Structure 1
Amino acid sequence: MDIATRVYNHKWKIDPIIRSLIDTDFYKLLMCQSVFRNKPETEVTFSLINRTTSVPLARLIDEGELREQLDHIRSLSLSRGESTWLRGNTFYGKRQMFRSDFMEWFENLRLPAYHLERIGDQYELTFEGKWHEVMLWEISALAVLMELRSRAVLNDMGRFELQVLYARAMTRVWEKIERLRDIDGLSIADFGTRRRHGFLWQDWCVQAMREGLGSKFTGTSNCLIAMRREVEAIGTNAHELPMVYSALAADDAALARAPYDVLSDWHEEHDGNLRIILPDTYGTQGFLDHAPDWLAGWTGIRIDSGDPAAGAEVAIKWWQERGEDPLQKRVIFSDGLDVDKIAELHHQFAGRTKISFGWGTLLTNDFRGLVPADALAPFSLVCKAVSANGRPTVKLSDNPEKAMGPADEIARYKRVFEVGAQDRQEVIV
């Protein structure tokens, strides 16, 4: 495929940014099924947050074009082939991962309305409604904003300039893959949907990883690409679940239990490699210190904020203290990774625990230095649940730069979850 020509010729109606309701991350569908079962009446508001305020999205992206893309997403529904794949494929060694009642609902879903408003140089984009309906906007909204920004930067480039740009970007990705080839025992997946340069580029990166790394490449978080390219769909759960469960808590005691209530519900639905703990929503150390004993039997832990090496050391120590063998457990690194950090972490923890990597933005959106003023550099854009049943959500993270929520609620959560001093780290993506 000649990506440069497609980019040069693209029109939204023949080349929409979101092509399918399963052009989303696998974990999103797993969580959606869990919410559909356990919290079907919960009302949630999601909001787009541009952490990199130096990127003026509302000046770069035409509001009319943004609305066209969002309206197109609302017209999508599952195709017969997509439904068949979800109903009949084997995921994580399990057939019929998605229950019939959930699939019947999903097959009839159209995404609910959105609210879009320009505030200065940024867009305010929100989604309100039943949790299991509005949550499916998150990945699509992020992908649309990221790709429209890419298109805005590329819009004035000629055909040959685009060809050179993509040739350089392809060379960069391939050189990274060649370096990863030399890591014995590597296990790495594409986690780059939400902040990708574009769908076509993510698809190309997945094919390059598959050819260049062979069995070391374990799959992609993107369901549509996994289906079309016949690779594994990868993903478990995210911060959204404990954030909403916690917002619903009636008092401080219920708040302290909420992150474990989430995993108790998950425990009933999934086993094996889907039992991965994401402990950093309100601080990893405190979460593990107060975790029930049954959680130590889970398969692994995902490290998604703070110092990744320190987080892995905390996990290994926690397993050892509870009589678990770290060599039988898995640590998944997924925060701001690139080749040097992947190689460093693999060298540090190989032989101490099983290691996997979820490689995101710096796989699917590394155009740093390739255009004037570095106008295609990746930036930190998120779409988070900001309230549940009218109550604000909070995220503390292991990196206070990623914290979100009202100041008084952040203070309360820090008290309840006994979060002390934290080291600030630059948020790359």
Structure 2
Amino acid sequence: MVDIATRVYNHKWKIDPIVRSLIDTDFYKLLMCQSVFRNRPDTTVTFSLINRTTRIPLAHLIDEGELREQLDHIRTLRLSRGESTWLRGNTFYGKRQMFRPDFMEWFEALQLPPYHLERVGDQYELTFEGKWPEVMLWEIPALAVLMELRSRATLAHMGRFELQVLYARAMTKLWQKIERLQGVEGLRIADFGTRRRHSFLWQDWAVQAMQEGLGPTFAGTSNCLIAKNRDLEAIGTNAHELPMVYAALAETDAALARAPYDVLSDWHEEHSGNLRIILPDTYGTQGFLQNAPDWLTQWTGIRIDSGDPATGAETAIRWWESRGEDPREKLVIFSDGLDVDRIEALHRQFSGRVRVSFGWGTLLTNDFRGLVADDALAPFSLVCKAVAANGRPTVKLSDNPEKAMGPEAEILRYKRVFGVGEQERVEVVV
């Protein structure tokens, strides 16, 4: 096992590039990339970094030269033979050859496209523009780089013993969470923490701790590289990016209203079983389910990723019941802002009523809250989103208006088209 504190103290970053592989990314990104490669390969999309926690002055904390060096390194990465073999030959979600030969040939030749970086006040403006299948693969590594460089900026001023104690405390804190989860009967939980992790080495340690501490209760990790290296299941389905881009491409209000279902129609043709998970909150869960076609009721489950999670799950249960489905046979995946208290409470509330699963993110792989002065290692809310498609702005409404994004006029239009009224604001922690 890597001695993380010593590795950090030595500051030999050249042997520790933040992103060391094109598959050091979330599994759902590769699944979505294949779908985009098949269905919308020529769409031009722009991704942009958005720091929701504006009190964190990234441009003051992170040296621009270091940031460029890490981003430039990512552009040198190519799939290794072992990585390609793993993707081509492994069984994912019970399916062999999940990734089609034409997609793999394209991926094996891929170099991520150029980036645009500019300092604007206390923040960085970081954007990626190009063909959708290419630029979408910048999202996760870009976030990982910014998060880890912020961590490194704080750790660089710490001594050897201070670092040893810091990591000992962080390990103890995480292990205590795992010990609590050991008592949750029937728990199913996975690591979803790549995008806002403290560091790659720390995420890898956290995954190993979950493996040992939870055994078969631990379902796997969203991180493809760690899944490969640790012989774990790669976990993930789809994300808001798909309906956001499809919606931006819609020519009329009627086409806009259909766009979220067009996404899932394309997905339905490619995937079955536990990959058929609905993410309904991009333009409001209530309206999405109310207008959903009957074939979606046959899907395996729903992921709850914004708003009050219990309210979202109750809404899903009522929808299944109204369509003649037995909720006890359906899967609800909770994935928004989870920590142990909420995991325990949601499992108690819904176990037996639905099949419950959890995707544990930032507070698994980056909970250094309270461990250094001024809470300088506390996680914060940083995202990299598709902001335009073929020159048209994208919009996300969410079940929490704090997560909404897009031009105000377009937000109002989308609310009208999707029938979204007043929403309850919930603080976005991570």
**1: CA distance, partners of 2:405 / 2:117:** 21
Q: Following TM superposition, by how much is the alpha carbon of 1:388 offset from its aligned partner in structure 2, in angstroms?
A: 0.1
Q: Could you say which residue in structure 2 is the equivalent of 1:206?
A: 207
2:246 aligned with 1:245: yes
2:272 aligned with 1:271: yes
Matched residue type, 2:241:
E
Matched residue type, 1:238:
A
Q: Following TM superposition, by how much is the alpha carbon of 1:9 offset from its aligned partner in structure 2, in angstroms?
A: 1.4
**2: CA distance, partners of 1:204 / 1:334:** 21
Is 1:396–1:402's contact at 8 Å kept on the other side of the alignment? yes
Q: Following TM superposition, by how much is the alpha carbon of 1:204 offset from its aligned partner in structure 2, in angstroms?
A: 0.2
**2: CA distance, partners of 1:10 / 1:198:** 14
Moved more, 75-84 or 1-10: 1-10
Q: Could you say which residue in structure 2 is the equivalent of 1:114?
A: 115
Please give the secondary structure, in 2, of the residue aligned with 1:423.
Answer: coil
Q: Could you say which residue in structure 2 is the equivalent of 1:309?
A: 310
Matched residue type, 2:155:
L
**2: CA distance, partners of 1:6 / 1:101:** 40
Matched residue type, 2:64:
E
Q: Following TM superposition, by how much is the alpha carbon of 1:163 offset from its aligned partner in structure 2, in angstroms?
A: 0.3
2:37 aligned with 1:32: no
Q: Could you say which residue in structure 1 is the equivalent of 2:176?
A: 175
Q: Could you say which residue in structure 2 is the equivalent of 1:88?
A: 89
**2: CA distance, partners of 1:246 / 1:168:** 46
Listed as ranges, the matches of 1:154-233 within 5 Å are 154-233=155-234
Q: Following TM superposition, by how much is the alpha carbon of 1:14 offset from its aligned partner in structure 2, in angstroms?
A: 1.2
Q: Could you say which residue in structure 1 is the equivalent of 2:319?
A: 318
**2: CA distance, partners of 1:6 / 1:104:** 36
**2: CA distance, partners of 1:11 / 1:166:** 18
**2: CA distance, partners of 1:338 / 1:244:** 31
CA displacement 1:235-281 (0-9 Å, x = unmatched)? 00000000000000001000000000000000000000000000000
**1: CA distance, partners of 2:61 / 2:311:** 39
**2: CA distance, partners of 1:168 / 1:314:** 40
CA displacement 1:89-128 (0-9 Å, x = unmatched)? 0000000000000000000001000000000000000000
**1: CA distance, partners of 2:55 / 2:310:** 30
Q: Could you say which residue in structure 2 is the equivalent of 1:400?
A: 401
Matched residue type, 1:242:
P
Please give the secondary structure, in 2, of the residue aligned with 1:357.
Answer: strand
**2: CA distance, partners of 1:289 / 1:327:** 20
Is 1:111–1:133's contact at 8 Å kept on the other side of the alignment? yes
CA displacement 1:20-75 (0-9 Å, x = unmatched)? 00000000000000000000110000000000000000000000000000000000
Q: Could you say which residue in structure 1 is the equivalent of 2:427?
A: 426
Is 1:92–1:273's contact at 8 Å kept on the other side of the alignment? yes
Length, aligned pairs only = 429
Identity percentage of aligned residues:
83
**2: CA distance, partners of 1:251 / 1:59:** 43
- 4+ residue segments displaced more than 6 Å: none
Q: Could you say which residue in structure 2 is the equivalent of 1:100?
A: 101
**1: CA distance, partners of 2:9 / 2:21:** 22
Please give the secondary structure, in 1, of the residue aligned with 2:251.
Answer: coil
Listed as ranges, the matches of 1:275-354 within 5 Å are 275-354=276-355
CA displacement 1:344-402 (0-9 Å, x = unmatched)? 00000011000000000000000000000000010000000000000000000000000
Q: Could you say which residue in structure 2 is the equivalent of 1:74?
A: 75
Matched residue type, 1:151:
R
**1: CA distance, partners of 2:306 / 2:398:** 6
**1: CA distance, partners of 2:142 / 2:344:** 32
Matched residue type, 2:383:
V
Please give the secondary structure, in 2, of the residue aligned with 1:183.
Answer: coil
Q: Following TM superposition, by how much is the alpha carbon of 1:305 offset from its aligned partner in structure 2, in angstroms?
A: 0.1
CA RMSD of aligned residues (A): 0.4
Matched residue type, 1:296:
T
Matched residue type, 1:286:
G
Q: Could you say which residue in structure 1 is the equivalent of 2:368?
A: 367
Q: Could you say which residue in structure 2 is the equivalent of 1:22?
A: 23
CA displacement 1:117-156 (0-9 Å, x = unmatched)? 0000000000000000000000000000000000001001
Matched residue type, 1:187:
R
Matched residue type, 2:105:
E
**1: CA distance, partners of 2:213 / 2:352:** 24
CA displacement 1:320-343 (0-9 Å, x = unmatched)? 111111111000000000000000
Structure 1 residue runs of 5 or longer lacking an equivalent are none
Is 1:24–1:139's contact at 8 Å kept on the other side of the alignment? yes
Matched residue type, 1:79:
S
Matched residue type, 2:394:
T
Matched residue type, 1:385:
A
Q: Following TM superposition, by how much is the alpha carbon of 1:10 offset from its aligned partner in structure 2, in angstroms?
A: 3.1
Please give the secondary structure, in 1, of the residue aligned with 2:15.
Answer: coil
**2: CA distance, partners of 1:110 / 1:366:** 33
Is 1:337–1:360's contact at 8 Å kept on the other side of the alignment? yes
**2: CA distance, partners of 1:312 / 1:386:** 29
Q: Could you say which residue in structure 2 is the equivalent of 1:147?
A: 148
Q: Could you say which residue in structure 1 is the equivalent of 2:43?
A: 42
**2: CA distance, partners of 1:246 / 1:260:** 10
Is 1:46–1:386's contact at 8 Å kept on the other side of the alignment? yes
Please give the secondary structure, in 2, of the residue aligned with 1:261.
Answer: helix
Matched residue type, 2:68:
R
Matched residue type, 2:211:
R
TM-score, structure 2 normalization: 1.00
**1: CA distance, partners of 2:374 / 2:278:** 40
Is 1:12–1:69's contact at 8 Å kept on the other side of the alignment? no
Is 1:17–1:198's contact at 8 Å kept on the other side of the alignment? yes
Please give the secondary structure, in 2, of the residue aligned with 1:196.
Answer: coil
**1: CA distance, partners of 2:428 / 2:343:** 17
Please give the secondary structure, in 2, of the residue aligned with 1:136.
Answer: helix
**2: CA distance, partners of 1:162 / 1:74:** 31
Q: Following TM superposition, by how much is the alpha carbon of 1:8 offset from its aligned partner in structure 2, in angstroms?
A: 1.1
